[in-house]
Amino acid sequence: MSTTLTHGHAAVHDDHGPAKGIMRWLTTTNHKDIGTMYLIFSLVMFLTGGAMALVIRAELFMPGMQLVDPQFFNTMTTVHALIMVFGAVMPATVGLANWMIPLQIGAPDMALPRMNNLSFWLLVSAFSLLILSLFMPGGGPAAGWTLYPPLVLQTGDAFPLAIFAIHLAGASSIMGAINIIVTIMNLRAPGMGLLKMPLFVWTWLITAYLLIAVMPVFAGAVTMLLTDHFFHTTFFAAAGGGDPVLYQHIFWFFGHPEVYIMILPAFGIVSEIIPTFSRKKLFGYDAMVYATASIAFLSFIVWAHHMFVVGMPLAGEMFFMLSTMLIAVPTGVKVFNWTATMWRGSLTFEPPMLFALAFLFLFTIGGFSGLMMGIAPADFQYHDTYFIVAHFHYVLVPGAVFAIMAGVYYWLPKWTGHMYDIKLANWHFWLSTVFVNVLFFPQHFLGLAGMPRRIPDYSTQFADWNMVSSIGGFGFGLSQLLFVYIIIKCARGGAKASDRVWEGAYNHGLEWTVPSPAPYHTFEDAPVVK
């Protein structure tokens, strides 16, 4: 009886193996394939957006205009941001979610596999449109990634392409979010209660709710831009009874939770890695979950701190200042808990841990500058200067991006079955960490000295730190080629990785109980979690 069963099972297995050639990738509904595609897509976008950042840093290397027209410079800042936010960071975390959530909760796949495929290919269409918009008459979108009217309405033929790109990317995100929620709610292995889920699953569950809440808001805002542009509505035009500031309120009601959409999964990744390499349980698991939830809640009531200089009434400024400062409390709890996890642990420093530690230090620096900007009177000086640029790059690059890299280095052996070149990965870590600080730390000084953001040229007093920052930029950008090389090398071969991969991974998640590389189908029979 049992032999027959096993035999039947194997036959089914064969039938469901991946299709051959390109059709495997176009039509796949396998969470691992889709996860891989998301991650590769995100890496390509990361390099594309990075190349744009290098155009920016090259023009800013010296005072005077040497390389590009100011309008093209504005296009670069705009599209760099759109690509990095919607094309690099978000898809990377979605890719990790696709790969890891089913493995971490003991599910055979995502709950809605066809929608999973659709949401990936919609994303590809979205970014094809956005890249295409660069070649339209009148140039690409150049009004900043926030797309503030009335300026954004001056965009040429690129305008509808950029808007539709956002619509598609938004639809893709909403589908991804629905899929993640349904998967987590319905496909957990028996015995895995909500408060037993790995932190990465928790942070993604909360992120998914944020996505569903705010993506439609953003879609609404850009749709109103579209009708203002083409159908003579005046939602945001004062001359027709509309209000340009209304757009900013709607945008940031989306935009602030969006910030946490990018950082919460990063918190989750770091919360997986630090315990593994400290050989200790995560300190204050419940507090971590509640802190994540409170950060998510607060993200809905702080949006106007992006708009302190817009001319809000005093009461509004006061409310948004105080609510913003509150965010420091749950964020502080998280940092303290990670530190307490390392306390009296038994630490080793493999590449994932190195990146997680850099995250811990450098994200905290970004948190401090964030607190400073929350103080409304001081923000009257910081607003729209390089101080802001330094802040959000600290939380996004050595914050979110480093956490994603940590995650890749953590799970790559599980995906490929090979251990990557640790020595090269260490090199990648040290180069990235040194250069990211050379790149972004001086931007604090530039902002405080009075350099506005989004300018293609500057007064000579800003020359020195800009040169330092540009050197850091090129150093950081080139270091990422090493990352690509390490991944390709690892996918092609290397030392065989064990199932557990990391010595400390014992008892740190179901993903370490399946073979390396993880077979095409896992957990067809649900594991039992005690």
Catalytic residues: 80, 109, 145, 172-173, 256, 258, 260, 271, 305-306, 331, 334, 453
The SS3 of residue 452 is strand
Is there binding between residue 304 and another protein (CB under 8 A)? Answer: no
Catalogue the E-assigned strands of 348-456.
Answer: none
Q: Which is nearer to another protein, 282 or 404 (CB)?
A: 282
Is there binding between residue 318 and another protein (CB under 8 A)? Answer: yes
Of 74, 119, 443, 470, the one binding another protein (CB under 8 A) is: 74
Q: Which residues 458-477 are close enough to bind another protein by CB under 8 A?
A: 458-461, 463-465
CA distances (Å), origin 223, targets 164, 213, 448, 481: 9, 17, 37, 38
My answer on whether omega of the bond before 517 falls inside 30° of 0, hence cis, is yes
Query: CA-CA distance, 373 to 421, in Å (whole number)?
Result: 41
> Cα-atom radius of gyration of the chain, to the nearest Å?
23
CA distances (Å), origin 512, targets 8, 268, 338: 26, 17, 22
Of 12, 309, 478, 495, the one binding another protein (CB under 8 A) is: 309
Is there binding between residue 284 and another protein (CB under 8 A)? Answer: yes
Quickly tell me which residue has 């900007």 as its tokens.
373
Surface-to-core class of residue 323, CB atoms within 10 Å of its CB (0-12 exposed, 13-18 middle, 19+ buried) = middle
Stretch of 218-226, 264-272, 360-368, 415-423 contacting another protein, by CB under 8 A: 360-368
Q: Give the HSE-up count for residue 64: Cα atoms under 13 Å, Cβ half-sphere.
A: 2
Is there binding between residue 138 and another protein (CB under 8 A)? Answer: no
CA distances (Å), origin 486, targets 27, 391, 517: 28, 29, 17
Of 51, 339, 519, 528, the one binding another protein (CB under 8 A) is: 339
Q: Which is nearer to another protein, 1 or 315 (CB)?
A: 315
The SS3 of residue 119 is helix
Q: How far is the CB of 347 from another protein (least distance, A)?
A: 5
Helices (H), 231-312: 244-278, 285-298
Q: Which residues 383-422 are close enough to bind another protein by CB under 8 A?
A: 383-385
Quickly tell me which residue has 């609510």 as its tokens.
323
Is there binding between residue 40 and another protein (CB under 8 A)? Answer: no
Of 9, 69, 185, 524, the one binding another protein (CB under 8 A) is: 69
Query: CA-CA distance, 89 to 203, in Å (whole number)?
Result: 15
Is there binding between residue 64 and another protein (CB under 8 A)? Answer: yes
A 10 A CB-CB count for 403 gives: 32
Contacts for 268 with CB less than 8 Å, ≥ 6 apart: 198, 199, 200, 201, 202, 203, 204
Residue 385: strand pairing partners: 452
Which long-range contacts (C-beta less than 8 Å, at least 24 apart) are formed by 150-154?
150/236, 150/237, 150/244, 152/225, 153/225, 153/228, 153/229
Q: Which residues 225-264 are close enough to bind another protein by CB under 8 A?
A: 237-239, 243-245
Q: Which is nearer to another protein, 27 or 507 (CB)?
A: 507
Is there binding between residue 196 and another protein (CB under 8 A)? Answer: no
Is there binding between residue 499 and another protein (CB under 8 A)? Answer: no
Q: Which is nearer to another protein, 369 or 432 (CB)?
A: 369
Is there binding between residue 271 and another protein (CB under 8 A)? Answer: no
> Taking CB under 8 A as the rule, which mask of x and - marks residues 149-188 in contact with another protein?
-xx--x----------------------------------
Is there binding between residue 134 and another protein (CB under 8 A)? Answer: no
- Quick one: tokens of 253? 């009601």
Q: Which is nearer to another protein, 6 or 348 (CB)?
A: 348
Q: How far is the CB of 157 from another protein (least distance, A)?
A: 17
Q: Which is nearer to another protein, 22 or 314 (CB)?
A: 314
Stretch of 81-89, 157-165, 325-333, 507-515 contacting another protein, by CB under 8 A: 325-333
**Backbone phi, then psi, for 418, in 5-degree steps?**
-120, 145
Q: Which is nearer to another protein, 63 or 216 (CB)?
A: 63
Number of amino acids touching another protein (CB under 8 A): 89
Q: Which is nearer to another protein, 230 or 380 (CB)?
A: 380
Is there binding between residue 507 and another protein (CB under 8 A)? Answer: no
Of 56, 105, 261, 357, the one binding another protein (CB under 8 A) is: 357
Query: CA-CA distance, 203 to 299, in Å (whole number)?
Result: 14
Q: How far is the CB of 443 from another protein (least distance, A)?
A: 12
Query: CA-CA distance, 101 to 198, in Å (whole number)?
Result: 9
**Backbone phi, then psi, for 385, in 5-degree steps?**
-115, 180
Of 346, 423, 507, 520, the one binding another protein (CB under 8 A) is: 346
Q: How far is the CB of 398 from another protein (least distance, A)?
A: 14
Query: CA-CA distance, 260 to 480, in Å (whole number)?
Result: 24
Of 34, 84, 100, 142, the one binding another protein (CB under 8 A) is: 142
Of 376, 403, 412, 501, the one binding another protein (CB under 8 A) is: 376
Q: How far is the CB of 528 from another protein (least distance, A)?
A: 23
Q: Which residues 420-459 are close enough to bind another protein by CB under 8 A?
A: 445, 448-450, 452, 454-459
- Quick one: tokens of 428? 């990648």
- Quick one: tokens of 501? 């991969």
Stretch of 39-47, 141-149, 493-501, 507-515 contacting another protein, by CB under 8 A: 141-149
C-beta separation of 322 from 374 below 8 A: no
